[in-house]
Structure 1
Amino acid sequence: MLRALAAYSRHAALECGVSVDRAVKAALLDTLAVALGALTHPAAVAARRYARHAIVARGATIWGTGECVTAEAAALVNGVPLRAYDYNDLYIGKSGGHPSDMIPGLMALAQWRGIDGKRLIGAIALGYEVAVALFDGLRLRNGGLDYPNIVAIACTCAAARMLGLSEDQTADALAITVIPHAASLEVESNDLNRRGDLTMWKRFNGSDAVRQSVYACLLAEAGAEGAVRPFEGRYGFLARLELAEDDRAALLRRLDPAQPLSAVERVTYKLWPVGSRGQSAIQAALEARRRIPDPARIAGIRVLADEGVYDHLVSQRADPWHPVSRETADHSLPCIVAMALLDGRVDTGTFDKERVMRPDVRTLLNDRLVVEPAAELGGGAAAGFLARVEVTLDTGEVVVGEAGPPPGHRLKPFSDADFEEKLRVNVEPVMGARRTRDILEAVRALDAAASLQPLCALLGAGAQGVEAP
């Protein structure tokens, strides 16, 4: 596995066709929309405080402040807000995760090293190719591991290629990535911390893995060597996963440098700042809400959901009918549906504590809403994690929001205009309309950019409510 990944990183053709170029730019726009819109999240604030220890004269920009830090620190700090609201892309195979976690780290490295836009685009496409192959081929839960382990391997392959590392150096970087750093699935335990939230480390887990990738590549470039058998060794990465020989062979076939890059076109996106398992339910609730003149007339709500959705957002949760914080609210299917029906919209402020504690929300949750698993809505991620919402009014009329794949799913993909609108909605409030348009134009023209400095300057100082470290 080690040599196959190193050879793939070194030799895969980075020429991106029109559709792949578009897909990478879409992933970039989505990443910036999500991250820049969450710069005031407590985890993002904590990450910027950490960055005080890494300020340098020439490095990579902290988004929202313009301060310069080391590439490793920027990979962490700029990646944290990307995961603040569970709002970035998703791919699910045998395992699932968020490939775009690698983008802030690759951008930081490219800015620091003066790498041009076309080379960055190719590296991102390569990283997605590795991530998707590994998500398809590995069952991380077998070893109690979380998805950032895959993103870290993919990011190391992409960063090594961008830096021009040799095949041997890339192998050492991969070994340094996977042996010292193993992201545990414990962050998905659903245990609540002292504030009644899910662990804040969930917001750091992906970017910390990417920081490890940047660190590993720089160490290998400097001559550091990693473990000899980081994947197949007795205590190596694959030993934890109990990978069958047939599955290993299938995975190796995917890492064929002669194959064109295309995996970046196969991820899904989110219209609303909630995990993917809540997107269809929001769509159904908003569809019903448009036909309800006054939510005060709601007498009862019945939510039917894919069994995987029910398990993830109801049965695994401590008390989904009584959320006590933002994260217990946006990880509760009852609360997600209730807020969509009451407000007629879902945005990054929907699940603020003061809003979910309102009396009208509590009345709807505790007295009028039931959720049931529905086998007929099966299909999981491939179908869009389906949910149907049935609302009974005080007249006895039943208004139905039908189950269907949500916007951004592969069965209902975003258009270019959808990505632009997501950028506008999330970035204009913190950076203004003019700068948001300039960011859009810079991403659209990235393949012709000699460096990332102009784009990173736009992402720097001037974000409303964001203080420098």
Structure 2
Amino acid sequence: MIDHHIRPLRAGERRPREEELAWKIAELATDPAPDDPDALRMAAWRIVDDWAVAIAALNRPAVIAARGAALAHPVEPSRPGGATVLGMGAARFDPFWAGYANATAIRELDFNDSFFAAESSHPGDVIGPLAAVAQARGCDGRALLRGIVTAYEVQVDLVKGVALNRYRIDHVAHLGPAVAAGIGTMLDLPVTQVYHAVNLAAHLAVSTRQTRKNQISTYKANAPGHIGQIAMLAVDRAMRGETSPAPVYEGDYGLLAILLGGPDVRVTVPLPAPGTPKRAILETYPKEHSAGYHGQAMIDLAFRMRAQVPDPEQIDEIVIHTKELTHLVMGSGAGDPEKWDPKASRETLDHSAMYIFAVAFQDGVWDHHRSYDPARAAREDTVRLWRKISTRADPGWTAAFTDPAPLDKAHGGRVEIRLRDGQIVSDELRVADAHPRGARPFGPDQYRQKFLTLAEGLVAPEECTRFLDAVAGLETAAAGALGELRIAALPDALHTGLSGLFTS
């Protein structure tokens, strides 16, 4: 890896564009480096993971709405191009809208992979837009996998170097340039076109952290698809010869100077050296439970601790000692009363460490639907327990998350349960069981089983088998064969929603 030290330029200062971060990203995307076989295989398994969680979300309101938008833009069978929409079988739609619909389904349940460094991310959110473009452009399977590996690399490396949350900017800001770079690799575009696409995508992908604050809305699920559309537009414009705002990161009116620290900020972004395989996807980690990643270890810990407290009614208080990020994003430090509100949206509950721990502790299982059911959230004994739980930022846990390399970070915490008789029950867990360093790391069998479990009742078994076989053969899939990355839902399994601007 090469560390690129980036700072805002002073007014009137100029540098060669070859020194800009966006150019370095474009060089990475167009570098003819050898492919890492493990990275390509992991890209295929992350397609399985994304499609699994998308299927489970097919009838969620945000997904119904996004799918409806895509269905308003069909591609005639006689016309080349088009992309499939999850649940709709082989029918083709405008990739701009198909990618949006599929990305929304992938993100809705907060159930695909994560990565944390200076910033946080869900790097698998790149796959929906990339797959749509690959289908529409007739790419072969290896091109899609290489595009995914590039997009992961760019997002992970930006997350390592450029913090967003501390400036109240949402982490999808890194998603735009990652998708643009991935498309550049997939289509074998020249470096100048990728450079302009990355600049424009980075410029337009910025939104505030309000997406994940207070009463969290359905837009949290829509955001990656919207950013994917921005990246597609950026690539389309660059391919047509349009130029972009530059230097988008270093300019005196650019992202760093205006939004991400001011004119004196300094950031360091590591990127693979020329000729080096891209491997960042192997640093990311999947989810076993449908909840924010900061809650994964808490769910596993709640399962473990429940046997130590036979009567939850004897609990006086539960304190979760954890890293500052969990405390601020999912805990008491967020200052959001909604995180203890039984009428809160699912999008809010899956970002409440207190709710997550309470339900996992009581039930001993976690289900992507039942654990968030409004009646489940409103259960009187759950509300009593839930409101006894708080988080505290612990310097030791913060350091164990902040200081180590990404795969060595501690994501969990220590839970202290104080009983009415004064007894303290305490336990801790550093990483979720499914983490690469956890008790049960995810491998091919786990990805396959996750897909089959979440597809049950929505997709026929033979359709599941056909799809899994198609993914297994992606590395050698011929140009135009990516239509096999489709899913047909069972008859009458899909719900419909309201009409929008583009429907008759």
TM-score by length of 1: 0.88
Partner residue in 2 for 1:11: 31
- In structure 1, what is the Cα distance between the partners aligned to 2:396 and 2:197? 46
Residue 271 of structure 2: which of 243, 254, 269 is its match? 254
- In structure 2, what is the Cα distance between the partners aligned to 1:452 and 1:91? 31
CA RMSD, Structure 1 to Structure 2 (Å): 2.8
| Distance apart, 1:377 and its partner CA | 3.9
- In structure 2, what is the Cα distance between the partners aligned to 1:179 and 1:398? 51
Q: Is the 8 A contact 2:397 2:410 kept in 1?
A: no
- Structure 1 residues 68-467: aligned runs within 5 Å: 68-141=92-165, 143-188=167-212, 190-192=213-215, 198-240=216-258, 241-242=260-261, 247=266, 250-251=268-269, 254-290=271-307, 299-300=315-316, 302-308=318-324, 309-312=326-329, 313-319=331-337, 320-325=339-344, 326-349=346-369, 350-366=371-387, 369=389, 371-378=391-398, 379-380=400-401, 382-390=408-416, 401-412=427-438, 413-450=441-478, 451-457=480-486, 459-462=487-490, 465-467=493-495
| Distance apart, 1:334 and its partner CA | 2.0
| Deviation string, structure 1 residues 115-168 (Cα, Å, up to 9, x no partner) | 111111111111111111111111224654221121110110110121222122
- In structure 1, what is the Cα distance between the partners aligned to 2:166 and 2:335? 22
| Distance apart, 1:191 and its partner CA | 2.5
- In structure 2, what is the Cα distance between the partners aligned to 1:262 and 1:295? 48
Larger deviation, residues 149-158 vs 132-141: 132-141
Q: Is the 8 A contact 2:119 2:160 kept in 1?
A: yes
Q: Which runs of 5+ in 2 are unaligned?
A: 1-19, 403-407, 498-504
Aligned-partner residue type, residue 455 of structure 1:
E
Q: Is the 8 A contact 1:277 1:385 kept in 2?
A: yes
The alpha-carbon distance between structure 1 residues 102 and 386, as it changes in their structure 2 partners (threshold 3 A), is same
The alpha-carbon distance between structure 1 residues 301 and 243, as it changes in their structure 2 partners (threshold 3 A), is same
Larger deviation, residues 25-34 vs 150-159: 25-34
Aligned-partner residue type, residue 333 of structure 1:
A
The alpha-carbon distance between structure 1 residues 137 and 12, as it changes in their structure 2 partners (threshold 3 A), is farther
The alpha-carbon distance between structure 1 residues 271 and 384, as it changes in their structure 2 partners (threshold 3 A), is farther
- Structure 1 residues 23-62: aligned runs within 5 Å: 23-57=42-76, 58-62=81-85
SS of 1:179's partner is helix
SS of 2:82's partner is strand
Q: Is the 8 A contact 1:334 1:370 kept in 2?
A: yes
- In structure 2, what is the Cα distance between the partners aligned to 1:59 and 1:375? 51
- In structure 1, what is the Cα distance between the partners aligned to 2:457 and 2:175? 30
| Distance apart, 1:456 and its partner CA | 2.6
Over the matched positions of the two proteins, sequence identity in percent amounts to: 25
The alpha-carbon distance between structure 1 residues 135 and 351, as it changes in their structure 2 partners (threshold 3 A), is same
The alpha-carbon distance between structure 1 residues 427 and 306, as it changes in their structure 2 partners (threshold 3 A), is same
| Distance apart, 1:97 and its partner CA | 0.9
| Distance apart, 1:397 and its partner CA | 7.9
Q: Is the 8 A contact 1:272 1:347 kept in 2?
A: yes
- In structure 2, what is the Cα distance between the partners aligned to 1:365 and 1:273? 19
| Distance apart, 1:391 and its partner CA | 5.3
| Distance apart, 1:53 and its partner CA | 3.4
| Distance apart, 1:324 and its partner CA | 1.5
Q: Is the 8 A contact 2:252 2:263 kept in 1?
A: no
| Deviation string, structure 1 residues 48-101 (Cα, Å, up to 9, x no partner) | 222243222240011012342211111211001222122221111211111111
Partner residue in 1 for 2:3: none
Q: Which runs of 5+ in 1 are unaligned?
A: 193-197
Larger deviation, residues 22-31 vs 395-404: 395-404
Q: Is the 8 A contact 2:141 2:482 kept in 1?
A: no
The alpha-carbon distance between structure 1 residues 243 and 463, as it changes in their structure 2 partners (threshold 3 A), is farther
